[in-house]
A and B are shown apart, each in its own frame.
Chain A
């Protein structure tokens, strides 16, 4: 079975500071991993995905994530936070069985202080 743990349900950073959102996963097969962002009153938007190619994945809006197999981690980072980055972020792993069933973490709400 798959599972995803996002450490920290709330993260607060100052504008211009580094953003680090943590994601650890467990998977019985080589994982496919995703980060999604959800702005208020909207659905989820894909930020980036890892599908066994490069371990450092670059996404939209200046975000990137690094896959570390030894640590079973896929942390999301951005060098400099903007006010517009305030949202909820979800890490997800794709299921092991045939089919495309995602298991999501509990989400991390990012707050950006001016």
Chain B
């Protein structure tokens, strides 16, 4: 595997379910990110981790719970979601948290909440 991978690629869940999204980067990077991409809205940064420590929570509802056990893996735990949470969830990584560092994105998980 190369680059940034995300599983599953598609997920349908009911509002009372609990599920998790997984992201893995094979680039040796130290920073990882979760973004939400909704139709007709710009990409929204959700969380940032640097060396496994959360450095940014962009006022995300508590029904989204991130976990970063090491610099290569990032999870997003989901519970009691709302239909408006349906979106493409993108994971990204960068070498460090420098402003000049480009971010490398995974293919995303398409989430549908029913």
For A100, list chain B residues within 8 Å (CB): 31, 48, 94, 96-99, 101, 103
A102 and B90: CB pair below 8 A?
no
Answer yes or no: B75 CB below 8 A from chain A CBs: no
A90 and B55: CB pair below 8 A?
no
B108 and A94: CB pair below 8 A?
no
Docked complex Cα distance between A36 and B100 (Å) = 14
Docked complex Cα distance between A102 and B106 (Å) = 16
Chain A-chain B contacts (Cβ-Cβ < 8 Å), number: 58
Given contacts A43-B108, A99-B55, A99-B56, whether A49 and B100 have CB atoms under 8 Å apart is yes
A99 and B105: CB pair below 8 A?
no
Docked complex Cα distance between A103 and B108 (Å) = 18
B45 and A45: CB pair below 8 A?
no
B56 and A32: CB pair below 8 A?
no
Q: Which of A43, A45, A90, A101 contacts B48 (CB 8 A)?
A: A101
- A51-B100, A95-B99, A101-B56 given; name 16 further pairs at CB < 8 Å: A41-B107, A42-B107, A42-B108, A43-B105, A44-B90, A44-B105, A46-B102, A46-B103, A49-B100, A49-B102, A94-B100, A100-B48, A100-B98, A102-B45, A104-B43, A107-B42
Interface residue ranges, A against B (CB under 8 Å): 32, 34, 36, 41-46, 49, 51, 90, 94-95, 98-107
A-B contact pairs, 9 of them (CB 8 A): A32-B100, A34-B102, A43-B4, A46-B104, A94-B99, A99-B55, A101-B45, A105-B42, A106-B41
